[in-house]
Chain A
Amino acid sequence: MTRAFFPFLALGLLVETFVPVPLFGKTPEVSIIPERALQFGTFMVFGSGSRLVSASGAISDSSVIALDGTAPAPARFTVRYDRGNENNHVLDIELELAISDSPRTRVDGVEASVSSFETDLPGGAQVSSTKPVRMMIANCRARVCTRSFQVGGRLEVTRSFGGADVEVPIPIDVRIIAVERQR
């Protein structure tokens, strides 16, 4: 009687093993969160001039006159990596960051653009669309890990008449290069 039941038991086991197990979590993804705008402050310009705000907040003016107002400051961004599941492997994530020159913006009699971007990331003194910078999120143990960095740049202004509050977009891209599990 034992022999008669054995094949059925083996078949049952085989059936259980081949049933697909539902997947938990989703595809890993990366995102950028703008935390603070790149602040160039308040200044007067007669024709054309520029102001550089470095990633560390240093200011360098050319043909502009500084005035009291909002303090100049670098922009701040946070890169966010979501591994998409709840496993607790320790990960080292390598990312690539690129910043494109901003489009020229015109408000009334003032034209402005931002270029010569730099970051405070190691090796990120100059960043552009053709010169990206690599960054690491190391020892990631949680589902979501983040890393913040600062961005400086040069604002070039041409004033024909009057004054204006200008806002210029900073296109920034990030992509995952590699995700390594620590052993």
Chain B
Amino acid sequence: MTCVLLSSTAPFFAADLAAQGTSACCESGRAVARIVAPLKVIPLAELHFGSLVVGAQDGGTVTVRPDGGATVYSGSARSGCALGVRCGAHPGWFRVEGEPARQYRITLPPTVMARGLALPVLLEVRQLELLSRELGSSTGLGQLDERGHDQFLVGGTLEVPAGTAADIFRAELTLTVAYE
């Protein structure tokens, strides 16, 4: 009698490694970004040097402080406001709105020229400076609060030559505000 033994290499083992697989899967990655609203600057009050008088022989200056401190007169310049009349000097006042808790920077020109409405006379406004209420800083750096708000004030020094005729003088102040 012949004994026939079958091969022990049986087709029951799995993992036919050369097979074309169709195993597939899907996943979802993420893309993230922070979109920041542009800064908005709202003027609340003009930089006002008030009503003043200056001598015929000597000129003078008027300095308005951004912190709202007392106006400083030098030379022959004096306040021209009568008692009880509200015509005094005060700093410019601006509100800023933007991204909460973000810092921003304000850039002022070194000088601006105020032009008389009646006469072609120019008066120089120099030493413009500002103060951020949130930071209490005068470096030009501001800080928006948790609501995205801040305010800053602008002061400066008006140079008034001797004998300047009575007039109303106005200047356009261009300032740049940008996120730091």
Contacts and interface: CB of A to CB of B under 8 A. Distances in A.
B29 A10 contact: no
A174 interface: yes
Interface in A76-115: 77, 83-85, 87, 89, 91, 102, 110, 112, 114
Nearest to A98: B26
Contact of A44 (B1, B3, B38, B180): B38
Nearest to B180: A68
B142 to A, nearest CB: 15
Contacts of B180: 68
A167 B32 contact: yes
Given A39-B32, A176-B21, A34 B3 contact: no
B14 to A, nearest CB: 5
A40 B33 CA distance: 5
B32 A110 contact: no
Which bucket holds chain A's interface residue count?
A: 35 or more
Contact of B24 (A27, A30, A87, A161): A30
Which secondary structure characterizes the binding site on chain A?
Answer: strand
B36 A42 contact: yes
B27 A172 contact: yes
Contacts of B18: 179-181
Nearest to A41: B33
Interface residues of B, number: 36
B175 interface: no
Interface in B14-56: 14-15, 17-38
A181 to B, nearest CB: 5
Interface of A: 3, 6-7, 10, 13-14, 17-18, 20-21, 23, 25, 27-34, 37-46, 51, 65, 67-70, 75, 77, 83-85, 87, 89, 91, 102, 110, 112, 114, 151, 153, 155, 157, 159, 161-181
14 contacts: A13-B5, A31-B25, A37-B32, A42-B36, A67-B36, A68-B180, A75-B31, A77-B29, A85-B15, A112-B33, A155-B31, A169-B29, A172-B26, A173-B26
